[in-house]
Amino acid sequence: MKNPLKHILLVDDSPATNFFNETVIKKCDLTQNISVALNGAEALTFFDETKSTLSTPEIIFLDINMPIMNGWEFLDNYKKLNIKNSIVILMIGSNLQPNDKEKLKNYHFIKGDSQKMLNKEFLYNIVNEHFDL
């Protein structure tokens, strides 16, 4: 599987988590373009055509607890954008609570959740499940 995706966006306030996840994604050869946003507000700028020269991300790994704009606030703002293309959004968190998993059901575009530290098997499963490759 050599770079089947155009763009993946990591949204997490932890530089260590972003570094780890970026390394795993690169080792999987899923994409050449990995962008990082440290909060939901930064992530929203990727959907502003005047600010981004990169393609729209095909997968977003979104942390829940972040300063400035958390994952829930990002999702509420994302919903208002009415983005037509299908973006696979997965919530990541070190400690997803049952009430968080229940709340995820309110966002039809969320495709799942994961621990913060991604692994190859999980990434390959996501790509195979959501993309015709």
Statement: residue 75 has pLDDT above 70: yes
Q: Determine contact, residues 9/52, Cβ cutoff 8 Å.
A: no
**Residue type for 47, please?**
F
List pLDDT tens digits, range 3-60. Answer: 688 899 999 999 999 999 999 999 999 998 999 999 999 999 887 764 556 678 899 9
Per-domain residue ranges for the chain?
Answer: 8-130
Q: What is the reported pTM?
A: 0.90
Q: List, as own/partner pairs, every contact residues 120-125 make where C-beta atoms lie below 8 angstroms and the sequence separation is at least 24, other chains included.
A: 120/24, 120/27, 120/28, 123/24, 123/25, 123/28, 123/30, 124/1, 124/28
Q: What is the pLDDT of residues 25-38, one digit of tens each?
A: 999 999 989 999 99
Q: In CATH, which superfamily holds the domain spanning 8-130?
A: Response regulator (3.40.50.2300)
Give the C-alpha separation, 105 to 98, whole Å. 11
Q: How far is CA 113 from CA 3, 97, 101, 103, 126, in A?
A: 23, 11, 8, 12, 11
| C-alpha to C-alpha distance for 15 and 29, rounded to whole angstroms | 21
Q: What angle do CA 37, 15, 90 make, to 5 degrees?
A: 50
